[in-house]
Structure 1
Amino acid sequence: MRKPIFMITMLIILIFLTTIFNDALYEERERVRIDMEMAYFPNGVFLKQAVMGYDMVAADVVWLKAIQYYGGHKLGDKLFIWLDHIFGIITDLDPQFINAYVFGSLVISEDARKPELAIKLLKKGIAHNPDSWRLYFEAGFIYYLILKEYDLSIQYFTLASERPDVPPEVSKMCRRWAAFSAKKSSDFSTSLELWQEIYQSATDDYTRDIAERSISFLLIDINMSYLTGHVRRFYEMRGRYPKTVSELSLAQPITDPLQGFYLINPETGEVFSSIKQNENIRQIVGKITRLAHEFRKDRKIFPKSVSEMKEEGILPHNLEIPYGTSFVYNSETGTARPITAVSP
């Protein structure tokens, strides 16, 4: 008798969640549908009451929706506006869902570029699962590599090494990273080593993909540092900065791990990566889109321009625009489109 009731409840949950999505998104323009889909998903407290005790079942359903949301944006616009919202829902429904905390914190910090919210999610997980070494390790990782708050990374790596569920070899690794944190530096070589260990210990393709990409970005940083040194020497010899990388006449050409190219600002000598520029552009587009839609929630209309968003104080006046890039804002859809005028 229990099984039919379970199946019926599961069906009701699926219909309920699907209806919420379909109804909420029906009125949204197709162009911004993906960006806004999570904005109308109810919070975990509401869902917990609605699913009649089948919290873990509902958490699994929302987990699948999270993977679908993440995968869709990963292959598309790479804007992850609602990641923290949906992983908050999952962990409200199932506070012991360790993988949701671990994976959620990784994609929120790396893809959504919101490390503070990733830490908030992990602290929530630690409060519910104080013996899980993985949660402490992920917090130490974010504090060390992204936020560069080394005292806190020492604290969390050490706590991870002392958890009752930590394997002996992992405990040694955590103590080693606590020692690295004590040096208060995260140079390229140690950062590469940490990401390589994350890659090698990954148990799912998503984590492995993030680690592999982060390794590529570190290699890009190494290339940029190398080029910056050559640009400085060029200036010392010529009294001006080079206009392109080819002017440096390098003994060996630079190989970009992600098939991008490198730019030099001839006025300042600053070196840029096309790959990192594109990432920054996506982040700015996502920020403008998110803030424009938040504005619309309050005012029932999108802001007329980016200037209005700055005047209203919802967008920083000193917003850093990537080199050689400008943005065209559409006040009808609340979205921005980048225009790039640089090439290798």
Structure 2
Amino acid sequence: MSARGRKIVAALLVVMFCYAATIGALVAVDSTRTTEGMDEILYLPNEKLLAYFTAGLNTVIADLLWLHCIQYTALENRGQRHFTWLEHMLFTATRLDPYFTEVYRYGAMFLAALRADPEASLRLAQAGIKVNPYAWQLPYEAAMVFLLNKREESDSRYFATQYLSMSAATGRAPGGVVNLAAKLQDEFDLTEFEKDLWYEMLESEDKFIRELAERKLIEIELRSVCRILNERLDMFAQRTGRRASSFEELIDAGLIAAVPEDPLGGHFFIGEDGSAYNTSLLDDMIIRAKNVLITNVKFYQERYGVWPDSLETLTDAGLLEEIPAHPWPGKQWQYDPGTGEVE
């Protein structure tokens, strides 16, 4: 490295060290001062000014600021719990590095749970969603704000459903989040909202995202067909006093024109409970529910060194609140305690 290069690197290191030391000192001072007059104190410089002085090391400074933000939060939580500078620190870090999803996620949690400021929490989460549309955690945290911190508001569950749908629409959310979104969607009938999200993803440059969006749009239509078929089955039962045993009976009764087709290669059928199902939807639900079980079985094995004796052991250990029912009507999960395999 040339002498000039060494000087530049040394200068940058000095800037970083001084900045980190300054923030650390401010955190320490802030933990001991009273809140009187703090509104007039500029705790951190404007992020544009910071970006100018970081010489392109925005992400490095954002990392440092996030570490000090955690330290500040811990100190405040043990002290007066005012968290005066928390929101400013979080927004400064995210403006330095807009793709720092951990700051948006955990910062939103800190603001909602510790500072009891759901509005600030939502502002941070919404800012993160705009620049990180595929981060399922951010709309999920926004949904939790509505479900937990704003639950007394009449429309809180509606807005929570919208954000959970956004989280599920990323295609990366865990099965539990997807299932919760589906449950609330049924309650509020947000099918069109979900469609719009997937139609937007059809424009993605990522081939995987486009293919996923195409499949999810088909699944939405399949769910709609299942609802219609079940409505027709109810009508048949009201007319005849019994449930239809086949779709042909619905055709003969003039309730449907033909048995619907499944573009995904599956088929519709009437289960033993007299309800209409679709195999493609059931297969997808089985995969998601099975993944939840397998993940927790492996976690149990890592924690205790043995496979759980049964799936119910997962609830006894506090890993799951309940064992998800097998999506296929009439079927039960098959578990091998010798290998940890779930089928």
TMscore range, shorter length = 0.3 to 0.5
Q: Which has the higher contact order (CA 8 A, sep 6+)?
A: 1
* TM-score for both structures, normalised by structure 1: 0.46
* TM-score for both structures, normalised by structure 2: 0.46
